[in-house]
Amino acid sequence: MSTLIGVLRELLEKPEVSEEEVRQRLSELLASVPRPRKMTYEEFLDWADEDTPAEWVDGEIIMVTPVSNEHQDIVDFLTSILRTFVETRRLGRVLSAPFQMKLARSGREPDLLFIANEHLDRLKEAFLDGPADLVVEVVSPESAGRDRGEKFYEYEAAGIPEYWLIDPVRQQSEFYQLDETGRYHLVPPDAEGIYHSRVLPGFRLRITWLWDRPQILDALRELGVLS
């Protein structure tokens, strides 16, 4: 993995190399990394480190490509306002990638997750042993199939109460909440373009913040966290 990191540094130091070329080269390198084809989740945790972009599904290792600047900006923004809101209200914990969430048949690494106080016993040193109460995935071209397909049904089956899907390329956002049958249903923003979370009482996400991000302090003031 140290070789991979070295190649990444070399690519980033070349101003003439575009972001797309970097992503393509890294995709090729990730595909060539030798790894066991089947392993237990415990073996996966021993094999992978925090610099290893990988997930575990049914004993298989799924390598993922690095994210774009826009992707990371959205994750950082949401982490900042959600973490401050949750800590101020003392609702639980907010964690961002890279951190594993272990479900029945997979070990996923969501972009962002929230664990309510009543479920903090699931939080282990290196992973969350069970479902979060809220999962956020920021979609990239490489991850779109997994985020809307495999992960959608895994998170639904695991009983994760809320699942947010944010697509910066199309500037689209989807907010799913579990209904009384245990199925996800799409919950649209209100008439003012604000999404109201169910697992985070009082949290309101103005959708335009995702694409035209305000200053963190301004967003927190609107949320009532700051005066």
Q: CA–CA separation, 139 vs 147, rounded Å?
A: 7
Nearest alpha-carbon partner for 155 in 105, 92, 210 = 105
The model's confidence at residue 87, banded by pLDDT at 50, 70 and 90, is: very high
Q: CA–CA separation, 39 vs 60, rounded Å?
A: 7
Mean pLDDT for 139-145 is 78
**pLDDT above 80 (res 218):** yes
pTM of the model: 0.74
**Contact assessment for residue 100 and residue 107, using Cβ atoms and an 8 Å cutoff:** yes
**pLDDT above 60 (res 155):** yes
pLDDT digits (tens, 9 = 90+) for 21-36: 666 666 666 556 555 5
**Alpha carbon of 205 to those of 69, 90, 95, 121: distances in Å?**
21, 19, 18, 28
**Contact assessment for residue 81 and residue 216, using Cβ atoms and an 8 Å cutoff:** yes
The model's confidence at residue 57, banded by pLDDT at 50, 70 and 90, is: confident
Coil, strand or helix at 100? strand
The model's confidence at residue 210, banded by pLDDT at 50, 70 and 90, is: very high
Q: CA–CA separation, 22 vs 15, rounded Å?
A: 11
